[in-house]
Copies of this chain bind each other. A is one copy, B any other.
C-alpha cells in the first residue's frame, strides 16, 4: 500500500471507529443525576447545562467562563445541630489548654472544658469568637493543617455517628460531577474558614484548595527557629465571606461572575443575586431542609421550626419565587440524601 493509500484507509477506519464509539456511548449514556427525582429542580439543572454547553446555541458559554459556586454548610453537607467547624474548634480547646495551662480557669475555655452541654449551648457569640480565634489562629499554616487532618479522620457527628465528610449530600455531589464533566470549574464559596475547608475539600468534593473561597484570615510571613520560611495565622479577618462578602470574595478570588450558584440561607442571597444579574443563562438554587426524617427540617419558611443555625426565612423563599431562583426540596427532589443510605 502506498503511504497515501495507507493514510486514506487509516482515515476511513478511524471514522468507522468514531461512529462505532459514538453509537456505543449513546447506548451507554446514564443519568448524570440518579439521586434526583425527575421533577422541575432536576430538569432546571439539566436544561441549564445543555443550554450553556451547546456550541452555536444562543446561551452557549465558553469553557473559560463556566464557573459554578457552592455554599458548603447546609448546601453540600449537614450543618445541624452545629457547623462542623465549630465542633472542631470546641474539640481543640483541650489541646489548647494543655499548651497554655493559664487558660484553664478562664472563660469561655473553662465552660468548654467542663463538657456541660447545656452551659456550652448558652455561650454567647463573643465567647464563640474567642474560642474560634484561639483555636484557628496563632499557629503556622502547616501546623494548622496537621491539627485538622486527624480530627477529620476521627471525629463523628452526634446523630449518625459518621465522619463529617460522609454527611455530604449525594445529589449535590452528582451536580458537582455533572458540571465538571461539562467543563464547569466548581468552587466552594463558604462562610467557613478558607484554610479549614481547604484541608478536606479535595478529598471530599474533588475541589482543590485554589477553588475554595471562604472567610479569609490574614497570615504573616516569617521564619522559624531554623530560619525556614513560615506563614503564621493571624486573628485578623481580611474578608467575612457571608452575605455581600460572598460576591466580594468571588470577585477577589475568581474575578469572574458565576453562571450557577447554590446556597441554602440568607448568607447566600447576595451570591445568588450577583449570579443572576449576569447576561444569558444563569442558574440560582437554594436547598430547603424540609425532611426531618432523613435529615432535618427548618425554616421558618413554610411554617417549619426556626433554628439558630442556617435558617431559611419566608422572605428568602418569596424572593426565590419572585426572581426565578429554584428551591430544592430535600424531601421531594432527592431520592437519596446520603451515599450510605440503602
Contact residues of A with B, CB < 8 Å? 10, 13-14, 17, 64, 141, 185, 194-195, 198, 202, 208-210, 212, 216, 218-222, 228-229, 231, 238-239, 243-245, 247-248, 251-256, 270, 273-274, 277
Contacts and interface: CB of A to CB of B under 8 A. Distances in A.
Contacts of A238: 238-239, 252
9 tightest A-B CB contacts, nearest first = A209-B255, A221-B244, A229-B277, A229-B274, A210-B254, A229-B273, A221-B247, A219-B248, A198-B255
Contacts of A209: 254-256
19 contacts: A13-B13, A194-B252, A195-B255, A198-B255, A209-B254, A209-B255, A209-B256, A210-B253, A212-B255, A216-B252, A219-B251, A221-B245, A221-B247, A229-B270, A229-B273, A229-B274, A229-B277, A238-B238, A238-B252
A170 to B, nearest CB: 24
Nearest to A197: B255
Residue among A185, A194, A198, A231 with most chain B CB within 10 A: A231
B253 A231 contact: no
A141 B253 CA distance: 14
Given A218-B248, A219-B251, A231-B248, 5 more contacts: A141-B251, A194-B252, A194-B255, A221-B245, A231-B247
